[in-house]
Amino acid sequence: MTRKIAFIGAGSLGFTRKLVTDILTYPAFQDCTIALMDIDSERLAMVKKAVDKIIQAGNYPAQAIATTNRQEALDGADGVICTILVGGPQVFRHDIEIPKKYGVDINVGDTRGPAGIFRALRTIPVMMDIIRDVEIYCPHAVLLNYTNPMAMLCRAMQGESKVKVTGLCHSVQYTAEMMARWIGAPLNEIDYLCAGINHLAFYLKYEWGGKDAYPLLKEAVKQTDIYNEEQVRNEMFIHLDYYVTESSGHNSEYNPWFRKRPDLIQKYCTSGTGWNPGEHAYILNGYLDAEETWREGLAKSIDEAVNLERSFEYASSIFNAVFGDGTLFKFNGNVRNFGLIDNLPAGCCVEVPVLASKSGLEPIHVGPLPDHLAVLVNINAACEELAVEAALTGDRRKVFHAICMDPLTSAVLSLDEIQMMVDEMFVVNEKWLPQFQKK
């Protein structure tokens, strides 16, 4: 049976190419239809050329179609991959610049806190439109979301629809690989259990050859070069005893310890975060540079040999397990917390092991997080719950309260200052937030 896989937001060039390559490595999908959809027709045409080259290089009987019509792309799809971006850098630069003016120094700003929450407010309505189309045009499809803020978007969709949805992040597998490198272990000899919320999940177990590898990791992070590679995360590991999944740049935002004073930012966040410190430039310059150079890079890549090897990304293996050859596949996915992590809010979006099979996606019970980790994760999860409810109902007050309780924001600002900051962020986002129009 020929399968159809739809990419919504296919203009995400590098990622689309990687996932298409992965999908076509599975025999069950080598004759599939790849439906590429994006609102940017020029970018879409170029991505279509890149995907056609992958198909030709592998001599696959697959076909790629390109469309700016989302319904056409989704019609009859077995799998859907979502990699959209709502608003460009001139919109989301305000997510970083306005909080910075008030003293909240944000590094990445795509997950939680004031920047992540406003990105969610802009994106959730579009994601809800997508999920409604999936319900109509491919109700039995598996939808895999790669768009941030991951937890809030998945929570909104999963709470409002019965479509099979989960969210995927690179951080779990790549951090596991990083730690294996630090202790000199082959990755295929590492076993781990990782759970929490997106970008703030912890390795509750990390073993090499069946033995606890955390003592080796504690010795490794004493080395200056390793410590400096991930300063914030390594500080968290030294003091909290468990390693967190997402990079130091991200995690410096999710707690009150590293970004509340200039001296702390200088000490912990000016290097070893993986991101330009303390500014929006990583996003703004990164996207603008990409916009200027992606055509040149794509044209160059079309002339280069195609790498047909499968990557570490989960999407293709999930699809293969559910509607391919049925090979079981376990991954960390974002799902609602119904009996999965005992000491996090019921119904919030958690990142836990999930088993993909012909039966669908089955999340695995983890139990409780260590008590001290649960305190930090609970605060962030509860803020996300408030923000999602605000996005779905158009309740401005809930937005304010969610940002009030954000660990970094509350460490820096008074309640009145937070209110002024939130009001200003609403003004610059007005045209993107129709659900919040004053009555």
Residues carrying an active site annotation: 170
Letter string b/e over residues 307-343, b meaning 16 or more CB atoms within 10 A of that residue's CB? eeeeeebbbbbbbbbbbbeeeebebbbbbbbeebbee
Q: Measured between alpha carbons, how far is 94 from 73 in angstroms, rounded to an integer?
A: 32
CB-based contacts of 252, cutoff 8 Å, min separation 6: 107, 232, 258, 259, 268, 269, 273
Tokens of 17: 């190419």
Single-letter residue type at 366: V
CB-based contacts of 332, cutoff 8 Å, min separation 6: 169, 172, 173, 194, 195, 201, 351, 352, 353, 354
- Which of 187, 234, 237, 238 lies closest to 208 in space, CA to CA? 187
Q: Measured between alpha carbons, how far is 331 from 302 in angstroms, rounded to an integer?
A: 32
Please answer whether residues 138 and 78 qualify as being in contact, where contact means their C-beta atoms are separated by less than 8 angstroms.
yes
Please answer whether residues 356 and 321 qualify as being in contact, where contact means their C-beta atoms are separated by less than 8 angstroms.
yes
Q: Measured between alpha carbons, how far is 426 from 422 in angstroms, rounded to an integer?
A: 6
Which sign, positive or negative, has the C-alpha torsion 434, 438, 405, 371? negative
Helices of type H across 303-414: 315-323, 371-393, 396-404, 407-412
- Which of 181, 175, 151 lies closest to 244 in space, CA to CA? 175
